[in-house]
């Protein structure tokens, strides 16, 4: 709900549990007043205090008064060069060489429903569950208008932010920085939580107190990256899963980003989040516009868990465009770890036949089916079926898979090219590379210049021919390197600062074309696993391969960190063979299934090598997942332990919306002799209901299970697992 006090120029955004307030002051500066637990019918601008602060300049309008300074006032969209020395949200370069930006309130517009951003992903609204507020700011000297967009999804405690820049003058302006989100606090006693890591161990939670100065995470790799995720949190020092105020900020963007927090000299703090200013410079001709990607905020007065669940609910309902929405997705099997590049049609059909007998419903053909692709160094860019491996092409193979009762999926890496390919030999200038410099390679490949329309059109034409040749239900869209040598032959020297962003827009453009042309195809994103796991990609690819590390124990940490923002239905999670390819660890097949089941479930192994007992276990896992699919994919998710702290076990819980069902999963760590007896306190149950656990005769009250807990059976071997199914009686 958006409440306007036009007389006092106060704008209040209410969600179910939170309030966000801002005000245009006497000098037309848009001040940030409050963001926190819901407060009704209250004007809070008295919270903002002014007073003389030496070396904090005063705007010209203040005359001789020294008690008003932009360096002290919390603002909605910070500027630069006019007295605020904290993190700027925007930086303009005018034709005279100046970099000063001074934005003042000009007006507003209120709209029903949620705004949309052309060419960019965003939360969407079809039933007018959301409202939009647009506030207009103007730099009168630069003749540049800034439009601040606010989307309010009241039921989800979700407020989205976006920014549009318009050059209303007669001269060219260069945009050197344009953040999507600025959030000021009149306090600095907060912790910052980021989700960091590396390839094979992404999104590990990292928490620490804010300190004086600037702390930041980001990416300059051309992708959102394995190293840092474009989701951060700020919270009370003592906040935890169930208590304390916390703020989440997610950037819906898949390229270079930065999330920076500055604690100022006066013990306030500012979060600025958006496209990374590294190698970014956008030319705005007269009348030109630039739109920054969307950011999405959730504030929870009741700890991390409720913040996560609100993100999950909002993402599932208002971000994902999933062709399986309302329909159970099939369990998949992928042939990569079973065959790598060494396969033919008969081998693929053999794997599919084994999978179908176990209840698996989707067969995915991975890398190696096209061009001259027999290793990492050739074939990328030539998206034609290798008829030596697949005689008769997909037209012959896919019906054989379909006859088994399975759907068919295919692997693609459209953004990449090998030098040993017909495409590169014909169009070497279509790869990102700097004139006069030898290019660097990643996985033996170069990156196609997706900022250029003719490059995207060529790739799309090839993909369309493949996708139209057979009944294909699924695409795994892979991307196996970071961007280097970022220079485009399609732009002049003065506009090379646009290439990184135009590349991302090009990826979005091709994905949107595929979505419109083949709305029935599910696209799973992948970037060496989790290197591009962000809200922007989820808009186009409603599930993403969570990590190339498929080890069940490592995945406990990866999926734990990912869950703080992203719902489990978006996490591609597979059971793979042991010893694990990434770390050599051996874990029980049951445990691998329990871990992978809390995600978009599948298998990545040669099922023909399984023993009879292993096949029986896989059948049980597949049936278990199918039985509890709705509960796992659409239920509320509760973290019951922290795998970064709790050595004895990791536990989590799925609870149905009506609280009448729950599924609890637990995986043990390294077992110690004479270890203590433990109880697991559950969450999210109805205190007025009684629950049956795993069909035992005894009933447990919801209150008892949450307050006293459930006794964990003694575990005597490393990495064992158990699941508890609770049903209200």
Residue 567: which CATH number?
3.20.20.70
* Banded model confidence at residue 674, pLDDT cuts 50, 70, 90: confident
The structure's pTM equals 0.98
- Same domain (yes/no): 659, 563: no
**Are 161 and 179 in contact, with CB atoms under 8 Å apart?**
no
From the CA atom positions of the chain, what is the Rg in Å? 27
Q: Does 325 fall in a domain?
A: no
Q: Over range 141-154, report the average pLDDT.
A: 98
The secondary structure of 97-155 as a DSSP string is S---B--EEEEEEEEES----TTS-----SSS-EEEEEEEEEETTTTEEEEEEEEEEGG
Q: Does 675 fall in a domain?
A: yes
Please tell me the predicted confidence (pLDDT) of residue 676. 83
Beta bridge partners of 259: 217, 273
- Same domain (yes/no): 313, 369: no
Q: Where is 232: in which H helix or E strand?
A: strand 231-236
Active-site pick, 157, 382, 413, 534: 534
Please tell me the predicted confidence (pLDDT) of residue 50. 86
Q: Name the one residue in this structure whose structure tokens are 């009686």.
A: 729
DSSP 8-class letter at 681:
-
- Same domain (yes/no): 355, 393: yes
d(CA 182, CA 90): 10
- Same domain (yes/no): 385, 275: no
* Alpha carbon separation from 278 to 270, 282, 365, 430, 610 (Å, rounded): 20, 12, 38, 23, 50
Two structure tokens written together for 431: 């790869």
- Comparing CA positions, the residue from 378, 345, 368 lying closest to residue 445 is 378
**Are 247 and 34 in contact, with CB atoms under 8 Å apart?**
no
Q: Does 491 fall in a domain?
A: yes
**Are 92 and 99 in contact, with CB atoms under 8 Å apart?**
yes
**Are 182 and 271 in contact, with CB atoms under 8 Å apart?**
yes
**Are 501 and 418 in contact, with CB atoms under 8 Å apart?**
no
Q: Does 110 fall in a domain?
A: yes
Q: Checking DSSP bridges between strand 407-412 and strand 362-365, what pairing results, if any?
A: parallel
How long a stretch of residues is the chain? 729
The last residue of a domain, from among 289, 318, 347: 318
d(CA 230, CA 532): 10
Two structure tokens written together for 136: 């207009």
- Comparing CA positions, the residue from 272, 204, 248, 323 lying closest to residue 535 is 248
* Banded model confidence at residue 283, pLDDT cuts 50, 70, 90: very high
- What percentage of the chain carries pLDDT values higher than 90? 96
Q: Where is 459: in which H helix or E strand?
A: helix 453-467
Cβ atoms within 10 Å of 695's Cβ, excluding its own: 7
- What percentage of the chain carries pLDDT values higher than 70? 100
d(CA 411, CA 433): 26
367 is catalytic: no
Please tell me the predicted confidence (pLDDT) of residue 109. 98
- Same domain (yes/no): 27, 129: yes
Q: Over range 659-667, report the average pLDDT.
A: 98
d(CA 104, CA 145): 9
* Alpha carbon separation from 449 to 379, 417, 482, 489 (Å, rounded): 17, 10, 13, 9
Helix (H, G, I), strand (E, B) or coil at 259: strand
Q: Which residues contact 289 (CB under 8 A, 6 or more apart)?
A: 164, 165, 166, 167
Two structure tokens written together for 631: 């509960």
DSSP 8-class letter at 385:
B
Q: Does 519 fall in a domain?
A: yes
614 is catalytic: yes
pLDDT at 15 over 90: yes
What is the pLDDT of the chain when averaged over all its residues? Answer: 97
Total of domains in the chain: 3
Two structure tokens written together for 153: 């999804």
Please tell me the predicted confidence (pLDDT) of residue 596. 98
Two structure tokens written together for 651: 């536990």
Q: What is the pLDDT of residues 288-344, one digit of tens each?
A: 999 999 999 999 999 999 999 999 999 999 999 999 999 999 999 999 999 999 999
Q: What is the pLDDT of residues 411-454, one digit of tens each?
A: 999 999 999 999 999 999 999 999 999 999 999 999 999 999 99
CA dihedral 234, 221, 602, 397 (to 10 degrees): 150
Domain with 313 in it = 2-318
Q: Over range 143-152, report the average pLDDT.
A: 98
The last residue of a domain, from among 600, 634, 668: 634
- Same domain (yes/no): 112, 255: yes
The last residue of a domain, from among 634, 658, 676: 634
d(CA 694, CA 158): 36
Q: What is the pLDDT of residues 35-53, one digit of tens each?
A: 999 999 999 998 898 889 9
Please tell me the predicted confidence (pLDDT) of residue 62. 93
Chain Cα centroid distance, residue 124: 16
Helices 393-403 & 345-357 angle (0-180, nearest 10): 20
Helices 612-627 & 589-597 angle (0-180, nearest 10): 20
Q: What is the pLDDT of residues 258-267, one digit of tens each?
A: 999 999 999 9
Helices 453-467 & 499-517 angle (0-180, nearest 10): 30
**Are 670 and 647 in contact, with CB atoms under 8 Å apart?**
yes
Two structure tokens written together for 492: 């002049």
- Same domain (yes/no): 678, 576: no
Ramachandran area for residue 7 (φ above 0: left; ψ -120 to 50: alpha; else beta): alpha
- Same domain (yes/no): 595, 503: yes
List the CATH number of the domain containing 699: 2.60.40.1180
* Banded model confidence at residue 646, pLDDT cuts 50, 70, 90: confident
**Are 28 and 43 in contact, with CB atoms under 8 Å apart?**
no
More confident residue, 671 or 681: 681
- Same domain (yes/no): 499, 540: yes
DSSP 8-class letter at 188:
-
Buried b / exposed e along 274-302 (16+ C-beta atoms within 10 A): bbbbeebbbbbeeeeebbbbbbbbbbbbb
Two structure tokens written together for 426: 């014909």
- Comparing CA positions, the residue from 411, 405, 325, 331 lying closest to residue 364 is 411
**Helices marked H in 628-672 — which ranges?**
629-634
Tell the burial category of 14 from Cβ atoms under 10 Å away from its Cβ (0-12, 13-18, 19+). Answer: middle
Active-site pick, 375, 429, 614, 718: 614
Two structure tokens written together for 519: 């709305």
The secondary structure of 11-78 as a DSSP string is EEEE-SSEEEEEEE-TTS-EEEEEEEE---S---GGG------TT----GGGTT--S--TTTS-BSS-
d(CA 456, CA 476): 18
**Are 201 and 557 in contact, with CB atoms under 8 Å apart?**
yes
d(CA 566, CA 599): 11
Q: What is the pLDDT of residues 162-181, one digit of tens each?
A: 999 999 999 999 999 999 99
Q: Does 324 fall in a domain?
A: no
Q: Over range 349-378, report the average pLDDT.
A: 97
Q: Where is 79: in which H helix or E strand?
A: none
Q: Where is 665: in which H helix or E strand?
A: strand 661-668
- Comparing CA positions, the residue from 633, 475, 566 lying closest to residue 252 is 566
- Same domain (yes/no): 296, 374: no
d(CA 316, CA 634): 8
Q: Where is 85: in which H helix or E strand?
A: none
- Comparing CA positions, the residue from 544, 111, 158, 625 lying closest to residue 320 is 544
Q: Name the one residue in this structure whose structure tokens are 């030596």.
A: 388
Q: Where is 567: in which H helix or E strand?
A: none
Q: What is the pLDDT of residues 458-490, one digit of tens each?
A: 999 999 999 999 999 999 999 999 999 999 999
Q: Does 303 fall in a domain?
A: yes
Please tell me the predicted confidence (pLDDT) of residue 477. 98
List the CATH number of the domain containing 145: 2.70.98.60
Q: Name the one residue in this structure whose structure tokens are 């096209």.
A: 370
- Same domain (yes/no): 65, 203: yes
Torsion sign (Cα): 658, 661, 665, 666: positive
Q: Name the one residue in this structure whose structure tokens are 């992928």.
A: 334
- Same domain (yes/no): 589, 667: no
Helix (H, G, I), strand (E, B) or coil at 412: strand
Q: What is the pLDDT of residues 610-621, one digit of tens each?
A: 999 999 999 999
Phi then psi for 529, rounded to 5 degrees?
90, -115
Two structure tokens written together for 383: 């998206």
d(CA 690, CA 682): 13
Q: Name the one residue in this structure whose structure tokens are 């995915």.
A: 364
Q: Does 327 fall in a domain?
A: no
């Amino acid at each position: 709900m958006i409440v306007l006090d036009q007389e006092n120029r106060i704008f209040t955004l209410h969600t179910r549990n939170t309030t966000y307030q801002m005000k245009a002051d006497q000098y037309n500066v848009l001040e940030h007043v409050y963001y926190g637990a819901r407060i009704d019918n209250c004007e809070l601008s008295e919270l903002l205090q002014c007073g003389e602060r030496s070396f904090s300049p005063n705007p010209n309008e203040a005359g001789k008064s020294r008690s008003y300074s932009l360096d002290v006032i919390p603002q909605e969209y910070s500027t630069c060069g006019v007295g605020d020395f904290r993190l700027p949200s925007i930086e303009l370069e005018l034709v005279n060489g100046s970099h000063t930006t001074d934005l003042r309130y000009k007006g507003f517009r209120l709209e029903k429903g949620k705004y949309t951003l052309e060419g960019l992903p965003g939360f969407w609204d079809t039933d007018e569950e959301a409202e939009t507020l647009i506030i207009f700011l103007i730099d009168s000297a630069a003749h540049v208008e800034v439009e601040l967009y606010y989307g309010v999804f009241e039921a989800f405690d979700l407020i989205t932010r976006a920014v549009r820049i318009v050059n209303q003058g007669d001269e060219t302006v260069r945009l050197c920085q344009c953040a999507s989100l600025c959030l000021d606090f009149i306090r600095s006693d907060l912790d910052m939580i980021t989700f960091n890591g590396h390839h094979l161990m992404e999104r590990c939670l990292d928490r620490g107190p804010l300190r004086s100065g600037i702390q930041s995470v980001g990416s300059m790799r051309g992708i959102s990256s394995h190293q840092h995720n474009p989701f951060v949190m700020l919270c009370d020092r003592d906040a935890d899963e169930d208590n304390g105020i916390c703020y989440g900020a997610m950037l819906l963007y898949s390229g270079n980003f930065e999330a920076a927090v500055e604690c100022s000299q006066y013990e306030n703090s500012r979060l600025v989040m958006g496209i990374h200013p590294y190698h970014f410079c956008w030319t705005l001709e007269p009348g030109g516009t630039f739109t920054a990607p969307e950011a999405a905020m959730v504030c929870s007065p009741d700890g991390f868990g409720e913040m996560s669940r609100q993100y999950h609910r909002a993402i599932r309902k208002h971000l994902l465009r999933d062709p399986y929405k309302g329909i159970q997705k099939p369990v998949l099997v992928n042939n990569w770890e079973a065959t790598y590049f060494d396969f033919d049609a008969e081998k693929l059909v053999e794997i599919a036949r084994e999978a179908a007998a176990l209840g698996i419903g989707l067969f995915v053909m991975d890398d190696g089916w096209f061009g001259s692709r027999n290793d990492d160094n050739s074939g990328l860019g030539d998206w034609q079926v290798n008829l030596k491996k697949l005689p008769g092409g997909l037209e012959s193979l896919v019906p054989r898979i379909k006859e088994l009762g399975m759907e068919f999926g295919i692997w693609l890496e459209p953004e990449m090219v090998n030098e040993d390919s017909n495409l590169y030999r014909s169009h070497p200038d279509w790869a990102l590379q700097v004139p006069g410099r030898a290019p660097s390679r990643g996985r033996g490949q170069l990156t196609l210049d997706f900022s250029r329309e003719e490059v995207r059109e060529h790739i799309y034409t090839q993909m369309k021919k493949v996708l139209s040749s057979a009944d294909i239900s699924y695409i795994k869209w892979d991307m196996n390197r970071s961007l280097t040598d970022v220079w485009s032959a399609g732009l002049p020297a003065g506009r090379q600062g646009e290439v990184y962003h135009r590349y991302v827009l090009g990826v979005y453009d091709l994905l949107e074309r595929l979505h419109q042309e083949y709305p029935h195809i599910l696209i799973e994103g992948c970037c060496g696993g989790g290197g591009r796991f962000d809200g922007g990609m989820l808009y186009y690819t409603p599930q993403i391969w969570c990590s190339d590390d498929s080890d069940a124990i490592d995945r406990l940490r990866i999926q734990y960190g990912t869950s703080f923002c992203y719902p489990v239905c978006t996490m591609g999670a597979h059971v793979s063979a042991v010893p694990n390819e990434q770390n050599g660890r051996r874990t029980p097949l049951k445990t691998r299934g329990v871990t992978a089941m809390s995600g978009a479930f599948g298998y990545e192994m040669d099922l023909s090598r399984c023993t009879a007992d292993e096949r029986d276990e896989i059948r049980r896992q597949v049936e278990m997942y199918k039985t509890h699919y709705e509960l796992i994919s659409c239920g509320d998710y509760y973290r019951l332990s922290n795998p970064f702290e709790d050595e004895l076990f990791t536990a989590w819980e799925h609870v149905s919306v009506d609280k009448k069902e729950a599924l609890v999963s637990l995986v043990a760590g390294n077992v110690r002799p004479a270890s203590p007896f433990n109880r697991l306190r559950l969450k999210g149950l109805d205190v007025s209901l009684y629950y049956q656990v795993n069909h035992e005769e005894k009933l447990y009250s919801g209150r008892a299970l949450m307050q006293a807990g459930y006794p964990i059976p003694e575990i005597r071997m490393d990495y064992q697992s158990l699941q508890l199914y609770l049903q209200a009686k």
